[in-house]
Amino acid sequence: MSTLCPMRRLAAILMAGVLTGCACTQIGCVNRVEFDLAHDLAFGVKYDVEACIDGACTSGSITIHDDIGGAADGLWLYADHDMVVLDLEGDDYSGVHDLRVVVRDESEDVLTDHSGTYEFTKTEPNGGGFCGPTCWHAKIETPAVAAP
């Protein structure tokens, strides 16, 4: 059997996909939770951040040095948007999940301590089906913490 025959089959399959509109784009996405904070974050300040999903928590000390933000172990902190982002591993975040975020400043004052149960939004940037990927996203607005 010639190696040309399998190559022709592959070319025919790819061409059929293009002709029927089944070609996939290569747009990617990530699973994540965005916590919009009611507190203004500042550049050059170190924050202690903890974000949790279903009791599994990620924490770190993060200083925002520039408009790119600061990061530690899957946590991102952005002063220009006053936001904590938790990148998630795994494939399926359908259903409802318990989420929590706690942010403290350098003097250990609690700026945000919010928890609740939320449903994620499913995203399929390439149209779903066999093209993939499927990603899950939640955007949570956190209320301000009352002054002591």
Among the four given CATH numbers 1.10.1660, 1.10.10, 2.60.40, 1.10.3470, the one describing domain 26-141: 2.60.40
- What pLDDT is recorded for position 128? 75
What pTM value is reported for the model? 0.77
Give the residue carrying structure tokens 């990530």.
30
Cβ density class 20-40: b for 16+ within 10 Å, e for less? eeeeeeeeeeebbbbbebeee
- What pLDDT is recorded for position 66? 73
Cβ neighbors of 25 (< 8 A, separation 6 or more) are: 125, 126, 127, 131
User: Between residues 28 and 88, which one has the greater pLDDT?
Assistant: 88
Residue ranges per domain, the chain? Answer: 26-141
pLDDT tens string 57-116: 999 999 988 767 788 888 999 988 899 999 998 889 999 999 999 999 999 999 999 999
- What pLDDT is recorded for position 146? 66
How far apart are the C-alpha atoms of 135 and 84, rounded to whole Å? 18
Identify the bridge partners of residue 96 per DSSP, sorted by sequence position.
Answer: 119
Q: How far apart are the first and last CA of the chain?
A: 80
Residue 95 Cα distances to 1, 99, 104, angstroms: 51, 13, 30
